[in-house]
């Protein structure tokens, strides 16, 4: 009775931010430096604007559809014969994308601390955590995301540690010089912003007001500020050439932190990033779950999740190395970006047709 409340704007913002902040965080400063050269961090601003435009499309769906679920809108106008394969495609992309994010996190951790342990054991443990969270439903996911947020958000304050070593001299007056493959780079950098598109599935669980939609922008803005802070510190801490060569500049940055009683904190801090990764994975898997559930509404949620996560786990055996996982993430990143823009546009089209139909009937 007292439980079935709508997800508040704050939690929507947290969910959006947590779904966005993922494994790309560790390579982002290198990517912007490598692909865009001097002052590459500036690229984050157009990425933010583009993602905000995408969020605007999502809010348009919300307004036109009056808060109805994506599935309800589609199924009103499109035949299920066409929709079900489409649903499967969407669910497949999200399922494997989420899975590869987890696999990459595990592989990096293995590289850091457990070179001799089979990474799939860690992957299984993380998948079990995700399963335990997913079976509790979106309300509990949003609550867990909030606790994870508070347990990980403080880490942004660690950037203050680098202020004494920060040099403005390392920023040149030249803008975006010395990059390469900028289209590929742009897509790769943009994939660091992905995750906000899943907020389109939150419509049935949020209050039907503007604040709910503003919260998605807020989550995206917070992420952008985090990214900007991090990349700025990296550009001021490393030289451009150093930054281009470092595989995981953020991990190297964390390795610099030392306290009198404890030093080389990077693997502990990297461990805390599990909170971010877990919610990113869970949100993609949740989207996959509710999409497949639309095809098989009678199947028990726990069984469905078990099946989906088992499939994802089996697929995660295929790429063995970090490089292979990166290729999967890049390719799936393209697909997820297309979905991020394509799905709202498709929904807007459907909604406009529905509206036109109602007007002509009237």
Partner 1 sequence: MEPNQPKELSLEHILKELDQCADLHHRSFPELATDLVYFPHSVDNTLFIQELLEPFSRIQRSEVDGMLQQSQFVKMSEPKTAVVGILDGKVAIFHQKGVYLLDVSSPEARSVQPSETETVIAGPHDAFVESASTNLSLIRRRLRSPHLKIRKYAVGEISKTAVYVLYIEEIVNLQLVEALEQRILKIETDELNDGGKLTQFIEDKPNSVFPQFLTTERPDVAVSKLAGGRVVAIVDNSPTVVCAPASFFDFFSSPDDYYQRWALGTALRLMRFMALLITVTFTAMYVSVTTFHYEMIPEALLRTLAESRNRVPFPPVYEALLMEIMIELLREAGARLPTKIGQTIGIVGGIVIGQAAVQAGLTSNVLIIAVASSAIASFVIPSYMMSASIRLIRFGVIILAGFWGNMGLVMGLALIIIHLSGLTSLGTSYITPVAPMKPRDWKDVFIRAPFSMLRTRPSQTKSSNLVRQKNRK
Residues that bind partner 1 (CB under 8 A): 1-3, 5, 8, 10-11, 109, 113-114, 117, 122, 125-126, 129, 132-133, 136, 140-144, 146-148, 150-151, 258, 260-265, 267-268, 270-272, 274-275, 278
Our CB check for partner 1 shows the closer of 64 and 269 to be 269
* Cβ proximity to partner 1, 113 vs 165, nearer residue: 113
Q: Considering beta carbons, is residue 47 or 274 the nearer one to partner 1?
A: 274
Q: How far is the CB of 105 from partner 1 (least distance, A)?
A: 10
Which of 114/162 has CB closer to partner 1? Answer: 114
Q: What letter does residue 264 receive in the DSSP assignment?
A: -
* Shortest Å, Cβ 94 to partner 1: 21
- 15 within 8 A of 283, measured Cβ to Cβ: yes
Nearest residue (CB) to partner 1, 262 versus 358: 262
CA separation for the pair 36, 235 (Å, rounded): 12
Q: Between 267 and 324, name the residue whose CB sits nearer to partner 1.
A: 267
Residue 26 Cβ, how far from partner 1 at the closest point, in Å? 15
Residue 284, Cα to own-chain centre: how many angstroms?
8
Alpha helices by DSSP H, 238-300: 240-245, 249-255, 266-272, 274-295
**Pairwise CA distance, residues 218 & 283, whole Å:** 18
Report the number of secondary-structure helices (H) and strands (E) in the chain: 15, 0
**Cβ atoms of residues 189 and 44 within 8 Å:** yes
Q: What is the DSSP string of 64-114?
A: HTTT--HHHHHHHHS-HHHHHHHHHHHHHHHHHHHHHHHHHHHHHHHHHT-
Which CB, 127 or 326, lies closer to partner 1? 127
Sign of torsion, CA 179 184 190 192?
Answer: negative
CA nearest to 147, candidates 320, 302, 276, 336:
276
Closest CB 106 distance from partner 1, rounded Å: 9
Strand partners for 206: 7
Alpha carbon distance 15, 324 (integer Å):
29
Q: Count CB neighbours of 64 within 10 A.
A: 16
- The smaller minimum CB distance to partner 1, of residues 21 and 33, is found at 21
**CA distances to 32, 172, 190, 251, 287 from 26, in Å:** 12, 23, 14, 7, 25
Measured from the CB atom, the residue of 168 and 259 that comes closer to partner 1 is 259
Q: Give the helix/strand (H/E) hosting 354.
A: helix 322-361
């Amino acid at each position: 009775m007292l439980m079935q409340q709508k997800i508040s704007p704050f939690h929507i913002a947290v969910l959006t931010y947590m779904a966005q902040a993922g494994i790309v965080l560790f390579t982002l400063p290198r990517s912007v430096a490598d692909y865009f050269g001097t002052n590459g961090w500036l690229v984050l601003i157009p990425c933010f604007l583009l993602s905000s435009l995408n969020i605007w499309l999502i809010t348009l769906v919300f307004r036109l559809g009056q808060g109805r679920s994506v599935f309800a809108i589609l199924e009103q106008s499109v035949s299920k014969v066409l929709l079900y394969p489409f649903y499967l495609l969407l669910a497949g992309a999200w399922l494997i994308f989420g899975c590869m994010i987890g696999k990459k996190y595990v592989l990096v951790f293995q590289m850091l601390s457990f070179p001799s342990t089979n990474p799939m054991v860690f992957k299984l443990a993380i998948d079990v955590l995700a399963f335990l969270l997913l079976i509790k439903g979106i309300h509990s996911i949003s609550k867990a995301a909030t606790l994870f947020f508070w347990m990980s958000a403080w880490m942004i304050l660690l950037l203050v540690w680098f202020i004494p070593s920060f040099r403005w001299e390392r920023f040149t007056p030249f803008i975006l010089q010395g990059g390469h493959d900028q289209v590929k780079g742009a897509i790769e950098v943009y994939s660091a912003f992905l995750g906000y598109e899943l907020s389109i599935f939150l419509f049935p669980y949020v209050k039907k007001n503007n604040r709910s939609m503003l919260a998605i922008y807020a989550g995206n803005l917070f992420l952008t500020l985090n990214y900007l802070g991090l990349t700025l510190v990296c550009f001021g801490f490393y030289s451009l050439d150093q930054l281009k060569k470092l595989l995981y500049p953020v991990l190297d940055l964390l390795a610099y932190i030392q306290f009198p009683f404890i030093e080389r904190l990077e693997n502990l801090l990297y461990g805390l990033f599990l909170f971010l990764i877990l919610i990113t994975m869970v949100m993609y898997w949740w989207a996959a779950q509710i999409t497949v559930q639309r095809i098989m509404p009678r199947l028990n949620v726990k069984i469905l999740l078990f099946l989906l996560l088992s499939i994802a786990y089996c697929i995660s055996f295929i790429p063995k190395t970090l490089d292979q996982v990166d290729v999967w993430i890049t390719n799936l990143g393209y697909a997820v970006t297309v979905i991020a823009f394509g799905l709202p546009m498709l929904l807007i089209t459907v909604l406009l047709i529905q509206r036109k139909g109602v007007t002509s009937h009237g």
